[in-house]
Amino acid sequence: MQRRRDLGQAIVQLRKEHDLSQERLALEAGIDRSYMGRIERGERSVSYDKLWAVCDALHISLAELILKAESVRRGVKIESRD
DSSP 19-53: T--HHHHHHHHT--HHHHHHHHTT-S---HHHHHH
Query: pTM here?
Result: 0.87
pLDDT per residue over 28-67, tens digit each?
999 999 999 999 999 999 999 999 999 999 999 999 999 9
Residue 81: predicted pLDDT:
53
Q: Is residue 81 part of a domain?
A: no
State the residue range of the domain holding 52. 2-72
Instruction: Judge contact between 45 and 4, C-beta under 8 A.
Output: yes
45: domain CATH number is 1.10.260.40
What per-residue confidence (pLDDT) applies to 4? 94
Q: Express each pLDDT in 10-27 by its tens digit.
A: 999 999 999 999 999 999
Domain tally, the chain: 1
pLDDT recorded at residue 32: 96
Residue 48, domain member (yes or no) = yes
3 state SS of 78: coil
